[in-house]
Each structure stands twice: as C-alpha cells, then as structure tokens.
Structure 1
C-alpha cells in the first residue's frame, strides 16, 4: 500500500519581478554616484518565499504569471533551487524592480515598476492549474501586489478556490487586495502577515501599542483566520492565534539588504506550520529566517545551522 503524500507548499506570485539591487556606500539624492555592486535576482514575494523554503529543504512549487520575453532568469532560479515550475507565461516582459541598498544607513529604497497585464484566459489557466495541483493539507502562500488586468478581489477569489481543495492559505499582501480578502463572504486565509502600517490600513485606526495590535489581531481571528503575524521591524513580531500570543525578538544584525526579509519571515512561519510546530517555535523560526536573510542579497538563506542558531537565541515573550 502506498503511503499518502506528505503536505507540500505552493507559492503564488501574481506580479513577480526581476530585482536589480544596487549597493552604495551612502545614498545621496540628486547626485551622481558610483555603485559598489549590482545584482539581478528573480524576485516577488512568492519567489522569495519559495527560494528560502528550498534552501531549508522543503519541497516547494511556485506558480503565478511570468512574462514570456524574459523568463530565463526565473527558470534558471527554479531549476537551481529544485523548485517545481507551475507559472503561466503571458506576453511581454516581467517587470524590473530597482532596490538601492544604502550600506551606511542599513536600509533599502525600492522603486517598483508595473507588470504586464493579465488576461481572463490566463487567469482561468492559473486557477485550473492550482485546482489540479494543490491537495488537502497543502500550504499555499499568496503574496505581493496584483498585476494590471486582475480585480482587487483576486486574492479573495483564490482563497475560496484553494480552501475548497482543503489547503491552508497564507496571504501576504496589503491595501485593497488585503481588505477585499478579509471582507469576502467566503473562506478567509488561514494566516496573514501585515506590518503595523498595513494592519492600521485595514483597521482604519492607529495601533500605537501592543494592546492595540493584539485587539486588532483578535478582530481578525474573529473573522475566521487561524493565525495573525504582525511584523514590527526591529521590535520583532507578534504571533497571535486563539488563546495564545507570543512576541519574538532577535539581536540586531548588520543588514546587507532588507529586501525580502519579510518574505523570509513568511517562509519561516510556513516551514513551521508544515512541521506542525507550536506557536513559540513558529515565532522563533520565522524571526530567524528573517534575520538570516538580512545578510543575503536575493532570495537565499545561509546554512541551516546558522538559521537554527538564530532561532535558539531568539527572545520570546508569552503574552497569553
């Protein structure tokens, strides 16, 4: 008798990008400068999540839309990482996003360009592929902005389709697409990961302290979500589910690039969910993924032992 297949992970990136990361000693606006380095990486939230999960050793597939004219970088990335390619190709070029990493400030300035338009037939093709591939128990990560041609309800529609397969959905987006997914009458995502500003945008009010953040998380759980993760930058993150709340922090590290750190956190919480880890372990692992990613350019993690050491040194506070 054949053993049932273990749960797997699928990431969906509807508006991917080639990330051009330019490293400068110091960004001086309005002046001609010489870059220290420039690097091009396949990017987009789901791509970044898939890359980190693959480095961790999780079997992962990636889907979404790619421009047919410059798909080579993505195909090479997925082949090198062992990521199963389920992308739908559309006419035109995948967009390029420019990331300017300022070494002196330890931060990154993003200039994100629009992507190619997605037609109704391409959208139908992606949904058909997902329903044929995703199984009960799988984790599906939906992330990023929406490309031209898709309605604000696109993630809400995907949540309904994927929930019908029995999959758990992790949604990492913001603005109108997030609001629509949370307002839909159908199934909600299992988990979301807003930052403070994104959560304030949904709540429609300031959330100045931990009590206010926890109250907003409780409102989300009441809608039917299973877990809410609120990223707080240098303050770490809050992990909240029914009856439990944990805040996790890691010691500061020298950031080579902040691009994709939030996506690495999503990868960490997804890896923890796949292993049915308790909330404290999930918080530690997600924070360790994010911290480890800060020392990397592109969607990569260092050796597993480095990430585990960071998870072991993470400080967690049980709030309830």
Structure 2
C-alpha cells in the first residue's frame, strides 16, 4: 500500500475554451471537475496503474466534502482529516486552438496546530505496514516550512520510505531528512541548487548536488521527460544517472503530467522493474497524460504504446 498526502487539496475545474481571449465572454466547449492537489493526482494515477493506494490530507467546508465525494466516485480509497477552513477551488481554461493554459488558484485555508496533530496521528495509523508515503504539493497558510521534514523524519525512523514532491523552503528542509526520493520539476530544482540548467552537464551536476543534500534518489521532471540519479542504497557510492525523453505527442493539457510520471515510476519500482524500465514507463505515462484533460488521468494503453518511443540515455560526466 502506498499512502499519498495532500495538505492543500482542491476541487479542480478545467474548462475547454477555443480561441480564449481576456476581457471577452466565452462558452466552454467542455468541462471537467476533479478532486485535485498533487498528492491526489498521484493517487489517481497509481489507482489507474493498479497499485493499492490510499489518499489522505486535509479538507474542509463544502468544498472539502466535494473533494471526498469526487474521490469516492472514482473508487480512490481516502481518509482525510476534516478542518475548520474551506478547501480551495482551482479554475483552469484550456485553449486548444491557441495552445494556451490559464490557471487561477485560491490560496486555500489556514490550518491550526491541533488539526495538523490529528493528521500526524492519522499518518501514524495509515502508514503501519505502508510500503511508501508520498508528500506532494504546497503547504497551506500558517503551516511551518519544516512540516514535511519533521513528518518525514518520524516516518524514516520507523523505516517507512518517503517521497517528497514540493518546492521552495519545504523542499530544501525536506531533502536534509534523507528521503527515499525527491521529485522536483526543473524550475524547483534550479531554485534548490541556485542556478539554471542549460545542458546535460548542468543536469548531471545538479543531480549530484541534490543527492549530496540527503535524498537517496533524485528525479527531476522536465518539459520533455525527466533526468534522474538512482542508487540501490542511500550510502552507496555507486549511482546511475539518466535522461529520459518522451516521444512527440500533440498535448491537450500538460497539467499534472509530472504527477502521472512520478506515479508511474513508483508503480514500476513497486512491481520490481529495473531503473531503466521504470523510467521508460514513467515518461511514457507522463506523455500519455498530456493527451487528456484532468491531472493524473491517462489511458494505460496509450502509455504502453508510447514506451517504445522513449529515448533513454546515461548522463555521464564530461571528461576534461
């Protein structure tokens, strides 16, 4: 069983509006409403891949009730903590004609210390026997930047592997706890190491630098796939670095493709597949998810067909 944790869950409403223009009245040609938030997106993808998963986190108000109802309708096991504040709603407009995506996100509710403690208690219960815990997404208002780090520290002491997908200070503090895997996107990784990446050597050095901060494995999602540093043991001196590039597709929406990619990598490793096989599956699934509207949604058959087109190569050190 994999447990996903979403502290800033949302109702995601995505509208398809061809030729969208600011300041004009439009009619949507289609609309999709889903429970959202990065941890929920990962749970949705894991469930599609047949991996046992339970989604937890914080929800509040009528929107929180809707989040739970939407997850239940998708047959995604869930066990959320109810909070006093109102969960957020996110609205997105996809323009297939112009190839643009416009997103408006609410800040989300403030969360009290007592509510966080209830969540930690629930995590202690849900993670008994869990194979992996995924913390993903932003932190709500008034939650300390070290929340993920402290929760991960406790789980690591109990020998529960932790995956962390967040940004900014919560990511910087989280990597120091030596999680099993961190999975920032390129912009988040650049902010973590303090420089932009322009070529494979920049990516390779960044993977090494992030790995030295603590995590056993590093997976950075990029616009065309991912780069990764992977090793069998945290203290192993031997690691392997890869670049995986997705085949060309005509995307409908790229939102949540990184969440689907991460879920597919975890699912493949959960099934005992090799690093190379896992990365091919991950990148193909991420590409397949861009063919549908709705974060974490994809057709496994499309992902399977795309795997053969994934270009996988080693990221080797450049000799002077």
Query: Where do 4+ consecutive residues of structure 1 move more than 6 Å?
Result: none
Superposition CA RMSD, Å: 1.8
User: Can you list the C-alpha shifts for 1:126-168, whole angstroms capped at 9, x where unaligned?
Assistant: 1111112213561111111111121111111121122122111
Other-structure match for 2:208: 218
Other-structure match for 1:4: none
1:280 aligns with one of 258, 276, 280 = 276
Contact 2:285 2:298 in 1 (8 A): no
> Greater shift after overlay, 106-115 or 10-19?
106-115
Other-structure match for 2:69: 76
Query: How far has the Cα of 1:17 moved from its partner?
Result: 0.8
Contact 1:239 1:279 in 2 (8 A): no
After superposition, residues 109-258 of structure 1 pair within 5 angstroms as 109-135=102-128, 138-182=131-175, 184=176, 187-234=177-224, 236-242=225-231, 243-258=239-254
Other-structure match for 1:9: 2
Q: 1: CA distance between counterparts of 2:15 and 2:297?
A: 20
User: Can you list the C-alpha shifts for 1:106-127, whole angstroms capped at 9, x where unaligned?
Assistant: 3422211111111111100111
Q: TM-score, normalised by structure 2?
A: 0.91
User: Can you list the C-alpha shifts for 1:205-255, whole angstroms capped at 9, x where unaligned?
Assistant: 222221111111101212231211111103x21121242112111222222
Contact 1:11 1:61 in 2 (8 A): yes
Unpaired runs of at least 5, structure 2: 232-238
1:297 aligns with one of 286, 293, 296 = 293
> Greater shift after overlay, 42-51 or 278-287?
278-287
User: Can you list the C-alpha shifts for 1:30-63, whole angstroms capped at 9, x where unaligned?
Assistant: 3333322222211000111101111111110011
Task: Give the match's secondary structure for 1:85.
Answer: coil
Q: TM-score, normalised by structure 1?
A: 0.91
Aligned length: 309
Query: How far has the Cα of 1:188 moved from its partner?
Result: 2.2
Unpaired runs of at least 5, structure 1: 1-7
Task: Give the match's secondary structure for 1:272.
Answer: helix
Other-structure match for 1:3: none
Task: Give the match's secondary structure for 1:38.
Answer: strand
